[in-house]
Structure 1
Amino acid sequence: MRIGELARRAGVSTRALRYYEQQGLLPARRSSNGYRDYDEADLKLVSEIRSLLTVGFTLEDARPFVDCLRAGNEAGNACPESVEVYRRKLAEIDEQIRTLLGRRAEVASQLADACPRCAIRTGATT
């Protein structure tokens, strides 16, 4: 399939696909007329990349998952390198949560000092 079809089926722009190619995540074979040529395996790679980006992974984080798929595994998370990225990402998220909780406590303390009778909500507000 050509780049436009892959982009449409994956729900991304052709620019994104070219960028993934530039970063070495998406191989681009060329047909005799010079057009990029992709197959179903490439669609799976792009889907894997997009799902990881959606939850906060970087393109570099996605590399082990892509390599795992390219090695013939059914899932990008089937390799030890991918599992290690999950572990590292969870540690990063846990650290961000600790940082945010500390900031929240400081702001709540400042609010209590500024307005002793103000109620401080403990849950998220919308």
Structure 2
Amino acid sequence: MKKEKEVAQKVYYYKLLEENLKTLIAMKESEENKLKLIKNAIEILKKLDYTDCLIPITDSLFVKAKILDKEKFLINVGHNVLLEKNLKQSIEFLENSEKEVSTNLQRLEREINQLYITYKSLEFDIRKRSEEIKKESG
């Protein structure tokens, strides 16, 4: 009976690890999307030689606009605070954001790998102990 209780506790911990893995993987995907957006924005700003653009209203709705001043950009620095920056400063801001997101991605990948190793090890242990219990009771 003691072994069954031990296995039940391990199964509970296993399920918690599984949920944590799902959460970390979702966070990683979110950071990967952020990184793509940042890289795209950097490329757009570096090639900014046109005045017409599309401004997203929603994921599927855009409005045509004209860029009147290519040297004034508003950057959201958090809590709805906007700072005016020139083109060079805006690119630098995005490049710093890119480095930060890349660092976060690396950290998340390490955490996922470590958690996955623990998860698989626990899975193996649960199977082994379950087989032992079956042999003892059978």
TM over 0.5: no
Q: Using CA pairs below 8 Å that are at least 6 residues apart, which structure has the higher relative contact order?
A: 2
Higher strand share: 2
Higher helix share: 2
CA radius of gyration, larger in: 2
Question: Which bracket does the TM-score occupy, shorter chain normalised?
Answer: 0.3 to 0.5
